[in-house]
Amino acid sequence: MLQVAFIRENTEAVLKGLEKRNLKNAADLVTKTIAADESRRAIQTELDAVLAESNKLSKDIGQLFKSGERSKAEILKKKTVLLKDKSKDLTESLQNKAMELQELLYLIPNIPNEIVPAGTSEEDNLNILQEGEIPVLHEGALPHWELAKKYDIIDFELGNKITGAGFPVYKGKGAKLQRALINYFLDKNNEGGYNEVQVPHLVNEASGFGTGQLPDKEGQMYHDAQDNLYLIPTAEVPVTNIYRDVILKEGDFPILNTAYTPCFRREAGSYGAHVRGLNRLHQFDKVEIVRIEHPTKSYQALDSMVDHVKGILKELNLPFRILRLCGGDIGFTAALTYDFEVFSTAQDRWLEVSSVSNFEAFQANRLKLRFKNNEGKSELAHTLNGSSLALPRILAGLLENCQTPEGIKIPIVLVPYCGFELIN
């Protein structure tokens, strides 16, 4: 969430940033936000004056009683009753205006970093790196959903029977490969300095607001209405919320965490061949990395995260590319995002497997995540997160790119984790 003081003092820059996001009602939102803030501050000023007058009268009444001027004191007491009623009304108005302001601020996305390219959709994302050789497959090569059926390692129909579409059942070597990937990703993250944590898979409303998943404008979160809890769409939510309402010391930075969780997304409106098989699921496994950084170090940290994910994909020997997302494709809370995509040879398309983002102070402002600098002043920290990695499309890419006439060859780095070299 942007700070209202920043919006007020940098209105033109905010509007310019929101223009890069193609936010059509940006000017209206910003105008309403500034007006709500001005109104809130005016009410606060009036309330402060009423309370100050009331306090002065209370002292005067005490002095009058001491000096025996009871009648004058009684007159002032009547004034304090009126002031008390007025302060009550002003307090209620202030609370309502503060809530109105907060709701407006929740609707304003983060300002993109200056290097974010302009654009309206994923077609305008900037390809900044491509590595790895795209394999030439043998005649009769299959997409991963056909391979899953051929080798009986993932059962989409069984998942549909148990729950519904988008909830596959992993079987035999498919389940072992899935577990191997999770353990491999966690080990690589541990080696990279990330501290492993296990977190809840449901979060409360405050956690959802803290990282920007709420308000859920696109209806993508599964919600338990009875307990008002949300199934997590990513481990970013519970891991980052570990630091909600926390004041850090400057010496605490950097803070690096990693977590494996299942993730749950409704993916409303997702249809067609491009979401077939593992390409888009309602429940999927993902290993996440999350960093809390000093504001002066967050972009250096972002580069480090990108290099970390790049190293894992190289070890898996998967052809990949890195995209810098344009203003029209970047997430609501992010200031800068890099997407990693692996090439799915059998589908002849790129599949997103990771997003690595710097949110700057946007989430920290919602979370009230601050630190005391060396001068003793309070500042907002910066938060970052990245997939390291999301499993479904990594698995799809591995199955398709590693297929041979004899079976699916397991990448060398995964063999110690899964205990076999070939799925056949």
Task: Give the DSSP letter string of 290-328.
Answer: EEEE-TTTHHHHHHHHHHHHHHHHHHTT--EEEEEPPTT
- The CA–CA distances, whole Å, from 179 to 373, 405, 415 equal 42, 25, 12
The tens-digit pLDDT sequence of the chain (424 residues) is: 999 999 999 999 999 999 999 999 999 999 999 999 999 999 999 999 999 999 999 899 988 888 888 888 888 889 999 999 999 999 999 999 999 999 999 999 999 999 999 999 999 999 999 999 999 999 999 999 999 999 999 999 999 999 999 999 999 999 999 999 999 999 999 999 999 999 999 999 999 999 999 998 788 999 999 999 999 999 999 999 999 999 999 999 999 999 999 999 998 655 555 679 999 999 999 999 999 999 999 999 999 999 999 999 999 999 999 999 999 999 999 999 999 999 999 999 999 999 999 999 999 999 999 999 989 999 999 999 999 999 999 999 999 999 999 999 999 999 999 999 999 9
Phi-psi category of residue 152: left, alpha or beta, with phi > 0 → left and psi -120 to 50 → alpha: left
Return d(Cα 399, Cα 420) in angstroms, integer. Answer: 14
pLDDT value for 138: 93
- CA proximity to 236, closest of 391, 395, 383: 383
Three-state secondary structure call for residue 359 = coil
Three-state secondary structure call for residue 106 = helix
Q: Does the domain at residues 4-106 carry the CATH identifier 1.10.10?
A: no
Return d(Cα 9, Cα 258) in angstroms, integer. Answer: 37
Return d(Cα 160, Cα 270) in angstroms, integer. Answer: 16
Residues in the chain: 424
Edge-to-edge strands, sheet with 247-249: 247-249, 370-372, 378-380
Q: 390 with 284: CB under 8 angstroms?
A: yes
Q: Where in the chain is the domain with CATH 1.10.287?
A: 4-106
- The CA–CA distances, whole Å, from 64 to 46, 54, 59, 374 equal 27, 15, 9, 50
Hey, what are 394's tokens?
Answer: 């990594």
Q: CA neighbours within 13 Å on the CB side: how many for 343? A: 16
Specify the amino acid at residue 345: T
* 266 annotated as belonging to a binding site for a ligand: yes
Helix 298-315 with 172-191: angle, nearest 10 deg: 140
Return d(Cα 18, Cα 23) in angstroms, integer. Answer: 6
Terminal CA-to-CA distance of the chain, rounded, Å?
51
pLDDT value for 218: 80
Report how many helices (DSSP H) and strands (DSSP E) the chain contains, helices first: 13, 19
Return d(Cα 148, Cα 131) in angstroms, integer. Answer: 27
Interior angle at CA 413, CA 181 and CA 139, nearest 5: 85
Q: Which residue in the block uniquely carries the two structure tokens 């696109």?
A: 218
Phi-psi category of residue 335: left, alpha or beta, with phi > 0 → left and psi -120 to 50 → alpha: alpha
Q: 93 with 282: CB under 8 angstroms?
A: no
* 385 annotated as belonging to a binding site for a ligand: yes
* 244 annotated as belonging to a binding site for a ligand: no
- CA proximity to 131, closest of 384, 307, 305: 307
Residue 35's CB: how many other CB atoms inside 10 A? 13
Return d(Cα 25, Cα 384) in angstroms, integer. Answer: 27
**What CA dihedral angle connects 310, 313, 314 and 317, to 10 degrees?**
-160
pLDDT value for 271: 56
* 288 annotated as belonging to a binding site for a ligand: yes
Return d(Cα 175, Cα 115) in angstroms, integer. Answer: 41
pLDDT value for 231: 98
Locate the DSSP E strands across 345-411. 349-358, 370-372, 378-380, 382-390, 403-404, 407-409
Helix (H) or strand (E) holding 180: helix 172-191
Q: Kindly state the DSSP code that residue 403 receives in the 8-state scheme.
A: E
Classify domain 122-423 at the CATH superfamily level.
Bira Bifunctional Protein; Domain 2 (3.30.930.10)
Hey, what are 295's tokens?
Answer: 């504001």
pLDDT value for 269: 54
**Helices marked H in 10-69:** 11-20, 26-66
* 354 annotated as belonging to a binding site for a ligand: yes
